[in-house]
Each structure stands twice: as C-alpha cells, then as structure tokens.
C-alpha cells in the first residue's frame, strides 16, 4: 500500500531542482511510474 501512495503528500510526481551553473537553477519533474519503489525511496532520502 505504501508503494501506491507516496509519503509526505507529494502526489504522483517529484520535483528535482539542481544548479547547472552559478545561480542557474533547473527543475525537472519525475513521474511516479518512471522509477521503482527502491529508487523512489533513495530519491526521497536525498531531498533537502
């Protein structure tokens, strides 16, 4: 059941933001079905 609903109420996608160069922020949205449950857990653990 935990696999069907992501923790923290983030819905079915996760926004990943990163800096490409100084002060140049990029964001991507990853759909839930693009990653396995284990990879989702790793991604969520790395969020700040």
Q: Is residue 20 part of a domain?
A: yes
Domain count of the fold of the chain: 1
pLDDT digits (tens, 9 = 90+) for 31-44: 877 878 888 788 77
Question: Of 4 and 18, which is predicted with more confidence?
Answer: 18
Torsion of CA 17, 5, 39, 24, to 10 degrees: 0
Q: Is residue 31 part of a domain?
A: yes
The percent of residues above 90 in pLDDT, for the chain, comes to 0
Question: How many whole angstroms separate alpha carbon 47 and alpha carbon 13?
Answer: 14
- Classified as helix, coil or strand, 38 is helix
The boundaries of the domain holding residue 12 are 7-39
Question: 7 Cβ partners below 8 Å, 6+ apart?
Answer: 44
Question: How many whole angstroms separate alpha carbon 39 and alpha carbon 24?
Answer: 26
- For the whole model, what pTM was predicted? 0.46
pLDDT at residue 7 in the model: 53
């Amino acid at each position: 059941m935990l696999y069907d609903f992501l923790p923290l109420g983030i819905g079915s996608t996760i926004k990943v933001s990163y800096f490409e160069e100084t002060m140049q922020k990029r964001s991507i949205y990853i759909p839930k079905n693009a990653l396995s449950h284990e990879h989702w857990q790793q991604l969520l653990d790395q969020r700040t």
